[in-house]
Amino acid sequence: MSEPTCRACRGRSGVVVLDLGPQPACDYFPRLDDPGPDPQYPLAMWLCSGCGLAQLVADPTVPAEPRGAEPAALVLQAQDAVRKVAEAGLLPDGARVAEYGSPHGGSWLGLLRDRGLRSVPDGDQADVVVDCFGLMHAPDQRAALAERAARVAPGGVLLLQYHSLDTIVSCGQWNALRHGHYAYYSATALAAMLAVSGFSARTAWRFELYGGTILLSAQRDADGRTGPDDTGPDDTGPDGTGPDDVVRSLLAQEVTSGVGDWRVLQCLQRESQAQAGGLRAWLVAQRAAGRTVLGYGAASRAVALLRLAAVDRTLLPAVVDASPAKQGLRMPGTDIPIVAPDQLARRRPDVVLLFVADLQAEVRAAFPDVEASGGRWVDAQLASSSHAGGSAGLEQGA
């Protein structure tokens, strides 16, 4: 494989930090009667030595994802985020807003309209430009960020929300890597990308979504509400031109955790092997104990995990998913069918392996029958970890 070109700074120097080998497209769910084999594509993460952006090496797949059910956790987080940004005074009544959304849901537009903001037509400038998990879907990161920055009206704000690379590394979320997600941001790399467009991060908020999600607000450097005597390095904070204490501590934390260091990121490779082996051992142990296991959440992160663990329907007879578009299909690269939630009541599993931890509160409330009939919800990552280290103990999902 020739050295990639950075999607942001165009540098040619970097290191592959996670290589999952050939993987099926995680957003193409074949029909259950399609025997395969499913086409596979290389799946690897490369860290640019120039700007520090972790990114997808290549992606020949075409996004074809059936629109998944929007998790309640995503909706709640959007409400929380909008409230916090409003409290910071960044959502004035009557302001114009443009949104770059994610195909996974979580739009802010309805919430912003409720607060008196009005959306502008495509391409128009806006006082508030919001990107909720949208930017990572752009193959050309430099062009995509420049487009968003250009749409920020003078004095306006750019709000970028992303799943933090620091979270991915510290929580061992190696299977966040997927086709169609071209960039995995640290605040450090994003700050460098913003600087190219003449923007600086001003403040940030952290949310528990996906284990750690960051919302960064950035403004054009020339828009600092400052006079000529007021532009020194000490002029920081929400009213200045530089990052506030929250951003500065976020950047300092990333220096400590080493999120820009390829040697640190390579822990994701070891984590992938340990978790895949651990999941397989856990499923074998469940089968040996005579327990029925069903999966829940036909998400992209489940695809790579099941593939790497070489799980088939003899170990996991089905994955339940609430999205009608996915039912009657199977998990890519495996023979495991995707079934409707009514199967939870019908099959009465002893254990439901939850592939999307953020869904836990939602599914426990939606499907009380599981626990009422003696079953348990178990986080797939915890199950994988419980056997990765040789521990025989089953992790309680609650």
Query: Which residues are at the interface with Zn ion (CB under 5 A)?
Result: 6, 8-9, 11, 48, 50-51, 53
Shortest spacing between CB 170 and Zn ion, in angstroms: 22
Q: How far is the CB of 31 from Zn ion (least distance, A)?
A: 40
> Residue 304 is which amino acid?
A
Q: Which residues pair with 216 in a beta bridge?
A: 160, 204
Neighbours of 209 (CB within 10 A): 23
What's the min distance (Å) between Cβ of 54 and Zn ion? 10
Shortest Å, Cβ 50 to Zn ion: 4
Handedness of CA 362, 69, 31, 299 (dihedral sign): negative
Nearest alpha carbon to residue 374 among 336, 355, 347, 356: 347
* Collapsed DSSP state (helix, strand, coil) of residue 130: strand
CB of 5 to Zn ion, least distance (A): 9
Query: Shortest distance, CB of residue 141 to Zn ion, whole angstroms?
Result: 9
Alpha carbons 8 and 139: distance in angstroms, whole number: 10
Question: Phi, psi at residue 192, to the nearest 5°?
Answer: -65, -40
Nearer to Zn ion, 74 or 190 (CB): 190
Beta-bridge partners for 338: 319
Q: Which of 254, 307, 309 is nearest to 54 (CA)?
A: 254
Strands 40-48, 54-56: parallel, antiparallel or unpaired by DSSP? antiparallel
Closest CB to Zn ion among 51 and 98?
A: 51
The answer to whether the Cα torsion of 166, 6, 274, 381 is positive or negative is positive
In the bound state with Zn ion, the residue whose beta carbon lies nearer, of 14 and 333, is: 14
Question: Do 344 and 318 touch, CB atoms closer than 8 A?
Answer: no
CB of 226 to Zn ion, least distance (A): 30
Q: Which is nearer to Zn ion, 42 or 50 (CB)?
A: 50
Query: What minimum distance in Å lies between the beta carbon of 142 and Zn ion?
Result: 9
Q: What is the DSSP letter of 242?
A: B
Residue type for 365, please?
A
As a whole number of angstroms, the distance between CA 163 and CA 231 comes to 32
Tell me how far, at minimum, the Cβ of 191 lies from Zn ion, in Å: 13
User: Are the C-beta atoms of 55 and 365 separated by less than 8 Å?
Assistant: no
Residue placing its CB nearer to Zn ion in the complex, 46 or 296: 46
Closer CB to Zn ion, residue 18 or residue 209? 18
Please give the DSSP secondary-structure letter assigned to residue 91.
S
- Please report which residue ranges of 95-164 form alpha helices under DSSP H: 109-114, 141-150
Contact of 381 with 357, CB cutoff 8 Å: yes
Tell the smallest beta-carbon distance from residue 6 to Zn ion (Å). 3
Q: Are 26 and 303 in contact (CB under 8 A)?
A: yes
Closest CA to 285 of 158, 192, 378: 378
Nearest residue (CB) to Zn ion, 51 versus 209: 51
HSE-up of residue 375 (Cα within 13 Å, Cβ side): 25
